[in-house]
Amino acid sequence: MFDTMVITKAVAAFCGALLVFLLGNWAAKEIYVPRNANAPQAFVIDTGADDVAAEPVAELSFDEAWEVADASAGSRLWSQCRACHALEEGRNGVGPYLHGVVNRAIGEVDGFNYSGALAQAGDAWTPEVLSAFIENPNAVTPGTSMSFRGISDVQDRANLIAYMESES
């Protein structure tokens, strides 16, 4: 079935197809790329965009974001937490339940086996401590078993904390 002639014809067909593609590439570059493609631009239209200095956007502090926090906006962010946590009291999942977590002592949920890393976070889950923890759990408590990448936007964190507080 596979003798020398069949293999030779298959290799020749492959090489022929490769040659056709290489020649097609060369022809396309000659036909479609303009000769002055690398030439400098003939004229520039001034839009004035370079003259206006971009004003830096002031970063909101957590206290300012907490004052205007919207619990209904935090409900859509809760879906990221819902995979491991519950808002019903006493219902632990992969993570502890978060009913009444705002201003609760850290590591005080009965029936949940915490990793020892939470002792570094502080005494209570104040909104500020929660915000820092939600921003980057591994930075606040190195060695924590919580594998969450965090939420970088301060307003989103404030909204999420307001939602957890309102549902408690």
The pTM for the full model equals 0.63
Superfamily of domain 62-167: Cytochrome c-like domain (1.10.760.10)
**Mean pLDDT of successive 10-residue segments in the chain (168 residues)?**
89 97 93 82 78 66 86 88 87 87 84 76 84 87 83 90 88
Name the residue ranges covered by the structural domains of the chain. 62-167
Task: Enumerate the H helices of the chain as residue ranges.
Answer: 4-32, 62-67, 71-82, 127-135, 137-140, 154-167
Rounded distance, CA 4 to CA 7, Å? 5
